[in-house]
Amino acid sequence: MIKRPIEQVLNLNLPPKPVIALAEAEDDRIIQGALDAIKHGIADIILVGDTENIIQKLAGHDVGPSDALQVIDPALSPLTDDLAAQYYDKRKHRGLSHQDVLTALHDPLIFATLLVDAGHANGTVNGAVYTTPDVVRAAIQIIGTRSDTSMISSCFLMYLPDGRAMVYSDCGLVIDPSEQELVQIALASAQSSKQLLDQDPKIAMLSFSTKGSAKHPNVSKVASATQRLKTEYPQLDVDGELQFDAAFVPDVGQRKAPDSTVAGQANVMIFPNLDAGNIGYKITERLGGATALGPILQGLAKPANDLSRGCSASDVTDMIAVTVLQAQKS
């Protein structure tokens, strides 16, 4: 059985504790999720926002600021001037003035993301209140992509009722990936499989066709991306194009792709577009009884993750654990 992110973090036995910055600190789900992360011992937390309001919220949980739980107000923090200079350097090409930058830093999302970029925090988790475009935009503008990729994608961890776990990608961000983007999504998802599930990736490049059973430009795109992966990254165990049943069900995989080392055994599913990915993960969750954790952002130089605005406090804690794993295993 695959261990959940919290269990994996506890097994790492990390001293000192990683620090995760949260920008939606006046939301009760964020506070409860943060307190649970501290209780489990997986991370220390920085809550970013209006100090008075946050402390009042914390009082409702019978806690206050501590060594494990900092509260930082962008309007009052001694870090603000240095972070403003850092942000100005990143955004001056867009014509931002120093006053524009100071105004931007009063946004807790911008401030929390800058804390990560400057090394004051190991990662950040937001999205309970902010939209996905807000979270992704701040991450790209401030943290940027890793040197080995040119794009940001997302994945979900899918925990199946039988104890197995899989990576589904991209189900939340890239609408209609090109051939090259499918290659990048597959590479990032392979890394997520190792980092977050501690399992070797077997990557299925999904389509409505298996090994030429149908002809269409969409099929050709997936097949070409698969061939590029096999040629340029021979260490990867990847195959396609595969229908979902051929990728997932052993006897179907053996029948439809008998020479494949992935068919019937895939644990990383790369969907051809966002329609398929988003529908697929929700069907797996709602009809298949799987637990979906994400969207998890892939390809950033440092971890910054998104939450669903319908998230629960336990979702927040899980995403904090995911962010810690990304920070420690990158």
Q: Under CATH, what is the fold of the domain 153-291? A: Rossmann fold (3.40.50)
**pLDDT the model gives residue 12:** 84
pLDDT tens, 147-177?
888 899 999 999 999 999 999 999 999 999 9
Q: What is the pLDDT of residues 265-274, one digit of tens each?
A: 999 999 999 9
Q: For residue 97, what are the contacts with CB-CB under 8 A and spacing of at least 6?
A: none
Say which range, 82-91, 153-162, 226-235, 253-262, has the weakest mean pLDDT: 82-91
310 compared with 50, residue with greater pLDDT: 50
Q: Residue 308's pLDDT is what?
A: 84
What secondary structure does DSSP assign to 6-46, as a single string?
HHHHHHH--SSPPEEEES-TTSHHHHHHHHHHHHHTS-EEE
Q: Give the residue carrying structure tokens 């939606």.
A: 24
Contact 112, 23 (CB under 8 A): yes
Q: How far apart are CA 168 and CA 155, in angstroms?
A: 6
Token reading at 259: 């020479």
In the beta sheet, which residues pair with residue 154? 297
Residues in Cβ contact with 220 at an 8 Å cutoff, skipping those fewer than 6 apart = none
H or E segment and range at residue 69? strand 69-72
- Structural domain boundaries in the chain: 5-144+301-329, 153-291
Write down the pLDDT at residue 81.
Answer: 86
Convert the pLDDT of each residue in 90-143 to its tens digit.
887 777 777 877 888 889 999 999 999 999 999 999 999 999 999 999 999 999
- How far apart (Å, rounded) are the C-alpha atoms in residues 71 and 49? 8
Which pLDDT does position 209 carry in this prediction?
95
- Do 153-291 and 5-144+301-329 fall under one CATH topology? yes
- Whether the predicted pLDDT of 310 surpasses 90: no
CATH architecture of 5-144+301-329: 3-Layer(aba) Sandwich (3.40)
Residue type, 128: A
Q: Using one digit for the tens of pLDDT, what is the confidence trace for 169-215?
A: 999 999 999 999 999 999 999 999 999 999 999 999 999 999 989 99
Token pair of 245 as six digits: 């049943």
pTM strictly above 0.85 = yes
The confidence score (pLDDT) of residue 285 equals 94
pLDDT of residue 289 exceeding 80: yes
Q: State the average pLDDT over residues 224-231.
A: 97
Which alpha helices (DSSP H) does the chain contain, by range? Answer: 5-12, 28-40, 51-59, 80-91, 98-105, 108-117, 132-142, 179-197, 217-232, 244-248, 250-256, 274-286, 313-329
Taking Cα atoms as reference points, which of 10, 322, 327 lies closest to residue 167?
A: 322
Is the predicted pLDDT of residue 330 greater than 80, yes or no?
no
For residues 247-264, give the mean pLDDT.
95
> Mean pLDDT, the chain, as a whole number?
93
- CB 225, CB 206: distance < 8 Å: no
Residue 302's pLDDT is what?
96
Helix (H, G, I), strand (E, B) or coil at 215: coil
Mean pLDDT of 265-287: 97
In three-state secondary structure terms, 211 is: coil
pLDDT grade, residue 294 (50/70/90)?
confident
